[in-house]
Amino acid sequence: MSVMKFLLLAVLTALVSACNSNRTSFSAMSEGELAAFNRTVPLAEQVYCMEQAGTSTYIRRRVCQTYEKWLSQNERATMRLDVLNSSPSFGLPSTIGDGPQR
């Protein structure tokens, strides 16, 4: 029984590693390789890389995404900021010259 489990685990491991090896690692590409890749795809699928530091660390890492994903990420960040910046008025005056609202 343990031989069957071992064989099944070995086959699954080989299958998963074979599937993952086909993915292109854009963060490992040089700028020239990225430019050559971007010439072959439409604008929305072009890949751009940036050095970013996480929120809990100063260590910068290279983050590569398609142009379309960068746009959607920036739109989500803008929406989050709009939600955080909106505050209820609670009947307070909107300018200094306004008196209390009744």
Phi-psi domain of 60 (left: phi exceeds 0; alpha: psi -120 through 50; beta: other): beta
- Does the pLDDT at position 19 exceed 80? no
Instruction: Please give the tally of structural domains in the chain.
Output: 1
Residue range 61-82, pLDDT digits in tens: 888 999 999 999 888 888 887 7
Question: Does residue 71 form part of some domain?
Answer: yes
> Which residues span the domain enclosing 68?
26-84
Question: Does residue 74 form part of some domain?
Answer: yes
Question: Does residue 42 form part of some domain?
Answer: yes
Question: Does residue 16 form part of some domain?
Answer: no
Average pLDDT score, the chain: 76
CB burial readout 8-40, b (16+ within 10 A) else e? eeeeeeeeeeeeeeeeeebeebeeeebeeebee
